Copies of this chain bind each other. A is one copy, B any other.
Amino acid sequence: GGGGAESLDYEVIENYAYREAQAKRSKLFNWYYAMLKWLIALLIGVGTALAAVFINLAVENFSGWKYAVTFSIIQHSYFLGFVVYALFNLALVLTSVFTVTQFAPAAAGSGIPEIKGYLNGVDTHGILLFRTLIGKVFGSIGSVGGGLALGKEGPLVHTGACIASLLGQGGSTKYHFSSSWLRPFESDRERRDLVTCGCAAGVAAAFRAPVGGVLFALEEVTSWWRSQLMWRVFFTSAIVAVVVRTAMAWCKSGKCGHFGSGGFIIWDISGGQEDYSFKELLPMAIIGIIGGLFGALFNQLTLYITSWRRNYLHKKGNRVKIIEVLLISLMTSVISFGLPLLRKCSPCPNSEANPDIDCPRPPGTDGNFVNFFCSTDKEYNDLATIFFNTQDDAIRNLFSAKTFHEYSAQSLLTFLVMFYSLAVVTFGTAVPAGQFVPGIMIGSTYGRLVGIFVVKYYMKLNVDEGTYALLGAASFLGGSMRMTVSLCVIMVEITNNLKLLPLIMLVLLISKAVGDFFNEGLYEEQARLRGIPLLESRPKQFMRSMIAQEACKNQQVISFPRIVKVSEILYVLRSNKHNGFPVVGHGRNGEELVIGLMLRSHLLVLLHSKRDFQSSPFPCDPRGVTSRHIWSDFVKPISSKGMTIDDIHLTEDEKEMYIDLAPFLNPCPYVVPEDMSLAKVYNLFRQLGLRHIFVVPRPSRVIGLITRKDLLFEE
């Protein structure tokens, strides 16, 4: 993470400047604006899809070369082969960690907790910048290509979000279009919608799962949701699917170099198990329980390690971060190359009985049955098949149907232990890292293990080990990330086997329930650790018995009068860190009235521009404002610190002048009576995505009552 976090303002600040800006918008502009939303959704889809294809191609080509070179060298010397393999990995990982630490610190990790925070109303500095996008794309090529125990799917969600926010801003923070026709998304609220589209696009591109993407954005990432938005998010995902499919069709014709072996469906197991018997539900439930336990353990371990890293290791500077990653890379190379060497090869299955199977696989392909350190030609090394391979291919091999007894229980167990440890250790290092693919690896390993036992004991059934591997993968992800519907749909979309839907559901229900018993989901835990203050969707129980006043008990409210001296503003802004200040004026009869809320960031803009300084302490003409400011002056760029009080430099004369705050303040922030229960206040705050609520005395009279009837205007 890149430092502090600040709340976003999802409320529309209906001040004079904003209303003028709205009034000036022509009919044409409104129409154009509606179109632009769709155009931007289209561009988000195209951009994210291309980013995904680019990352995919780069990773596949790098690892393709790597394995090709290594395999050709080990014909002569295994030691030399290992050296080349390890160096290749080190080089790739080094580019990744170097990019991240030197150039884009916010690109480390998966980025999903930060995006989740953004969509919950907290902006973490740096997460949606252009440089983060660059760091994320090139960083994940390095870290995934370098064979670390992490995936590229999480970073793709972040990538999608970055692309969306940059498109919405009309460019990066520094270089952007200045015309309001090209950057009309100037409120946090509109940007939020775009980022939601971007997340969905990321998942859709990563797993080629458009519906899964929509659901992921809906279930896991976003905190507010409207069904109109669903329609737009869906459109974006559909575009992603079309672009990725087209790119893949183009690549299939050999124009992209090495390209892996998956089709549009990443891990197609439609040839697998068709049906299941009631007896099998028991082992499947056991897979669910294992998934819940292993997932919860994973969350807990990574939480400890990450918090240790943050508090000790990473405080020592970038050099330590780089050395750490390089050591882990070396360790990964040693384990993934060394362990298969210790394993005895198995003889290939009878090729007459299984005519589809190529064993050992011909050099230069990426299927099952890798011949590695075997004495004869008709043997394969089952540990190398999963360990000494890209993760995508390893998963494909683990999921593969009709390959009974390909893996020995011993190899799977070794792999499970080693890979689980590697995944835990790798998590939280300074490289872009997703947890989906490692999770699928871990889960499918123990799933296949269970499958082996089922085949052994329930002999008569039409059981397929690959199906169990898939269920295992679902269970681990469910146990760690605690998603349900979206994960279920993603699983179905990546394997193209709808018949397994009820089974996946069952496994997910169990693993989530078991996991919830121990701790929170991975992303929530990580967000908490990183100091991202997520607001849950429901108030805590004890809030029912608290009142609003108690939440701000010891507060000395700092407010401004309507017309205020510049020096006083300076003094107040320096003396505290609050981001909003009530403004108190006078009514017609001279009585005191709260006339609105002034944001710190808007005050800073006023102080910086100096255009509104006046020498008399009397109200100004609000119409003058529109000639001095345009609305976009007040808009803060996404995820940057913005101006601070130290950027303001004023002369003594200027400090003696006045500002009339009336045209700039938010005239109607939401208010609650002092004795409203905190649970209700929480609901108000959370459902509407507010940043400030005023606690005020009980009203003395009711001017009117608004009911449903009053809000229905029939055209």
Query: Which residues 667-715 of A have a CB within 8 angstroms of B?
Result: 667-668, 670-688, 691-713
Q: Looking at the complex, which one of B234, B683, B706 makes contact with A688 (CB distance below 8 Å)?
A: B683
Contact A540 B668 (CB under 8 A): no
Q: How far is the CA of A710 from the CA of B690 in the complex (A)?
A: 13
Contact B694 A241 (CB under 8 A): no
Q: How far is the CA of A485 from the CA of B485 in the complex (A)?
A: 13
User: Which candidate, A129-137, A154-162, A544-552, is the interface stretch facing chain B?
Assistant: A544-552
Tell me which residues across on chain B come within 8 A of A696, comparing CB atoms: 699, 701-703
Tell me which residues across on chain B come within 8 A of A230, comparing CB atoms: 219, 484-485
Tell me which residues across on chain B come within 8 A of A673, comparing CB atoms: 668, 671
Asked if A681 meets B706 with Cβ closer than 8 Å, knowing A667-B675, A668-B676, A700-B591, the reply is yes
Asked if A211 meets B496 with Cβ closer than 8 Å, knowing A548-B704, A548-B706, A594-B700, the reply is no
Query: Which residues 114-143 of A have a CB within 8 angstroms of B?
Result: 121-122
Tell me which residues across on chain B come within 8 A of A694, comparing CB atoms: 699, 702, 704-706
Q: Looking at the complex, which one of B218, B549, B699 makes contact with A704 (CB distance below 8 Å)?
A: B549
Query: Which residues 232-273 of A have a CB within 8 angstroms of B?
Result: 234-235, 237-238, 241-242, 245, 265
A317 at the interface (CB under 8 A from B): no
Contact B705 A557 (CB under 8 A): yes
Q: Looking at the complex, which one of B227, B265, B705 makes contact with A552 (CB distance below 8 Å)?
A: B705
Tell me which residues across on chain B come within 8 A of A324, comparing CB atoms: none
Contact B668 A228 (CB under 8 A): no
Contact A708 B691 (CB under 8 A): yes
User: Which candidate, A95-103, A145-153, A501-509, is the interface stretch facing chain B?
Assistant: A501-509
Q: How far is the CA of A700 from the CA of B671 in the complex (A)?
A: 12
Asked if A695 meets B701 with Cβ closer than 8 Å, knowing A496-B498, A502-B210, A685-B711, the reply is no
Query: Which residues 480-522 of A have a CB within 8 angstroms of B?
Result: 484-485, 488-489, 492-493, 496, 498-499, 501-502, 505-506, 509, 512
Supply 7 further A-B pairs (C-beta < 8 A) apart from A594-B700, A695-B704: A218-B227, A234-B488, A535-B711, A667-B675, A670-B672, A687-B687, A693-B706
19 chain-A/chain-B pairs, Cβ below 8 angstroms: A7-B708, A19-B545, A210-B501, A211-B492, A220-B227, A226-B537, A226-B538, A228-B538, A234-B488, A242-B502, A493-B498, A533-B708, A591-B700, A593-B700, A667-B675, A668-B675, A668-B680, A691-B707, A695-B702
